[in-house]
Amino acid sequence: MAFPKINPTTTKAWIKLEEHYAAMRGVKMQDLFANETGRKERMSLKTDLVSLDFSKNRITSQTLDLLQSLAEETKLDEAIKAQFNGEVINETESRQVLHTALRDFDAMKPEVNATLSKIKEFSEAIIQGTHKGYTGKTITDIVNIGIGGSDLGPAMVTEALSYYKNHLTVHYISNVDGDHVCETLKKLDPETTLFIIVSKTFTTQETLTNANTVRQWFVQKAGENAIEKHFVAVSTNLTAVAAYGILAQNTFTMWNWVGGRFSLWSAVGLSTCCAIGYAHFEQLLKGAHQMDIHFKEAPFSENMPVLLGLLSIWYTNFFKAETEAVLPYTQYLSKFVDYLQQASMESNGKSVDRNGTPVTYQTGPVVWGNTGTNAQHAFIQLLHQGTLLIPTDFILCTDSLHGKKNHQDILTANCLAQTEALLMGTYGEDVANPYQVFEGNKPSNLLRLDTLSPESLGALIAMYEHKIFVQGAVLNIYSFDQFGVELGKKMANRHLINQ
Ligand code: F6P
């Protein structure tokens, strides 16, 4: 089965969506809610780990039917099968896209299993202190040196799961800014620090520059022979890792069929695994796998990632919304938006379709946001009273991890109040002061987790991964390459030569 290559604008559904949009443009959600009993119940979905209330969208059941027809006409079902079956759907780079295979314990590839065992063994030796540094001390600090997908995913997950963390302190060096490196090194003792160099290609300028600086600092203090106890690497490029002087036993393999921005489930997550322990890391993978099964098996009308992807297309292409906000109401997810920006924008920031033709429609929206309630005191004004339409995802955990029910009650009340205020505005109220009028009718999704656990986090991340896949598949673009980052890299090199 080939990856479909259908221009979505040539489908019957797209034409009908255009007509439908003309009718929906003026429809107010406030009226939809007033006239439809059970809207919220009908427009809610639940999996074991994540639930979604999508009733506060500018949609009717007809919109949903049409969006579903769009998915059918663009053969989304074939695209999903092609991905999971390991077809070479990343055609521009001739690669499979199989990050889902990293979390499928029932059908695990032997090489994935072997690497997972190595991750387990190594992380346990670090955590339990059986792995000693060059002076016989145990490791207290771990430094992940990587950028993009080799940084954002693990950094986000380690932060998100800090409740489950052990005694190890984990640092992330990504920026080639030497001050970033020096500020981190300032806090470290070479005798008790482990450095993980993470680079899928092992050619990334920033990562190699940072790794060299760190290595120099280390060798000056500890000597060359100490490297083997303090430096490990994660990469597909085993030759370059060996040439760099890292022993095979200290090298963790990843594969070309794992995209950098989808790699936190691989050995790229080694720093996370050391921080939270293998059992939690495995739960993260298993939670993601549950979402994979949902995505693969649920009919489109009940499929969370499919629905979220189609809603995004509805707003981006018909309402001409240019951005989407994501507001997690838990401080643990303070790095979630950074992570999501790469996952979404590096994937779907494309303007040539899968037939090699420039697109005539919108592809990936700008993704941005911050944690609530901080966002409420920063930019939410623009969502309520600005002129731009910004569909927003609210992410809320029912229970906090440390108790403090009074805080959680306030947090929850604020999150729910924002979704309600965006929906209702001051509709139906007689507000004399024009500056105090809220139009409402602003779309939002409410995603809920019971608590932030490794499993529920895994499912949440996988849900967004699949949403991104749906957007790209239906919009007929290649989501798994990133040629757009290359030109700047070349130009930077030219500037370096000229300096
Ligand atoms: O330049 C972009 C990019 O290739 C990302 O896709 C990737 O996550 C990042 O650089 C880091 O690449 P690597 O893991 O090969 O160092």
Atom of ligand 1 lying closest to residue 489 CA: 1
Q: List the catalytic residue out of 87, 206, 282, 346.
A: 346
- Per-residue pLDDT reduced to its tens digit, 101-122: 999 999 999 999 999 999 999 9
Residue nearest to atom 1 of ligand 1 (CA): 485
CA dihedral 489, 491, 494, 499 (to 10 degrees): -100
Residue nearest to atom 8 of ligand 1 (CA): 149
Residue nearest to atom 5 of ligand 1 (CA): 148
Is 489 labeled as catalytic in the residue annotation? yes
Report the pLDDT value the prediction gives residue 1, as an integer from 0 to 100: 64
Residue nearest to atom 6 of ligand 1 (CA): 260
pLDDT grade for 2, boundaries at 50, 70 and 90? confident
Atom of ligand 1 lying closest to residue 482 CA: 6
The answer, yes or no, to whether residue 13 has pLDDT greater than 80, is: yes
Q: List the catalytic residue out of 41, 186, 377, 490.
A: 377
Q: Which of 200, 209, 256, 485 to mutate to test the pocket of ligand 1 (most atoms within 8 A of CB)?
A: 200
Report CA(92)–ligand 1 centroid distance (Å). 16
Q: Which of 147, 207, 271, 344 to mutate to test the pocket of ligand 1 (most atoms within 8 A of CB)?
A: 147
- Per-residue pLDDT reduced to its tens digit, 425-464: 999 999 999 999 999 999 999 999 999 999 999 999 999 9
Atom of ligand 1 lying closest to residue 346 CA: 6
Atom of ligand 1 lying closest to residue 485 CA: 1
- Three-state SS annotation for the chain: CCCCCCCHHHCHHHHHHHHHHHHHCCCCHHHHHHHCCCHHHHCEEECCCCEEECCCCCCCHHHHHHHHHHHHHCCHHHHHHHHHCCCCCEHHHCECCCHHHHHCHHHCCHHHHHHHHHHHHHHHHHHHCCCECCCCCECCEEEEECCHHHCHHHHHHHHHCHHHCCCCEEEEECCCCHHHHHHHHCCCCHHHEEEEEECCCCCCHHHHHHHHHHHHHHHHHHCHHHHHHHEEEEECCHHHHHHCCCCHHHEEECCCCCCHHHCCCCHHHHHHHHHHCHHHHHHHHHHHHHHHHHHHHCCHHHCHHHHHHHHHHHHHHHCCCCEEEEEECCHHHCCHHHHHHHHHHHHHCCCEECCCCECCCCCCCEEEECCCCHHHHCCHHHHHHCCCCCCEEEEEECCCCCCCHHHHHHHHHHHHHHHHHHHHCCCCCCCCCHHHCCCCCCCEEEEEECCCCHHHHHHHHHHHHHHHHHHHHHCCECCCCCHHHHHHHHHHHHHHHHC
Residue nearest to atom 16 of ligand 1 (CA): 199
Q: Which of 197, 482, 486, 489 to mutate to test the pocket of ligand 1 (most atoms within 8 A of CB)?
A: 482
Report CA(285)–ligand 1 centroid distance (Å). 22
- Per-residue pLDDT reduced to its tens digit, 241-287: 999 999 999 999 999 999 999 999 999 999 999 999 999 999 999 99
Question: Which domains can be identified in the chain, with CATH numbers?
Answer: 8-96+288-485 (3.40.50.10490), 105-276 (3.40.50.10490)
**Residues lining ligand 1, Cβ inside 6 A:** 147-150, 199-201, 204, 207, 260-261, 346, 482, 485
Atom of ligand 1 lying closest to residue 206 CA: 16
Q: What is the mean pLDDT of residues 164-187?
A: 98
Report the pLDDT value the prediction gives residue 403, as an integer from 0 to 100: 96
Report the pLDDT value the prediction gives residue 440, as an integer from 0 to 100: 98
Q: What is the mean pLDDT of residues 69-85?
A: 98
Q: Are 99 and 262 in contact (CB under 8 A)?
A: yes
For the chain, give the percent of residues with pLDDT over 90. 98
Q: Which of 156, 201, 209 to mutate to test the pocket of ligand 1 (most atoms within 8 A of CB)?
A: 201
Report CA(476)–ligand 1 centroid distance (Å). 23
Is 420 labeled as catalytic in the residue annotation? no
For the chain, give the percent of residues with pLDDT over 70. 100
Q: What is the mean pLDDT of residues 403-412?
A: 98
Residue nearest to atom 3 of ligand 1 (CA): 148
Report the pLDDT value the prediction gives residue 69, as an integer from 0 to 100: 98
The answer, yes or no, to whether residue 499 has pLDDT greater than 80, is: no
Is 377 labeled as catalytic in the residue annotation? yes
Atom of ligand 1 lying closest to residue 201 CA: 15
Q: What is the mean pLDDT of residues 318-343?
A: 98
Report CA(348)–ligand 1 centroid distance (Å). 16
- Mean pLDDT across the chain: 97
Report CA(347)–ligand 1 centroid distance (Å). 12
Residue nearest to atom 10 of ligand 1 (CA): 148
Report CA(159)–ligand 1 centroid distance (Å). 21
Report CA(254)–ligand 1 centroid distance (Å). 13
Report CA(400)–ligand 1 centroid distance (Å). 34
Report the pLDDT value the prediction gives residue 176, as an integer from 0 to 100: 97
Q: Please state, as a whole number, how many other Cβ atoms lie within 10 Å of the Cβ of residue 426.
A: 13
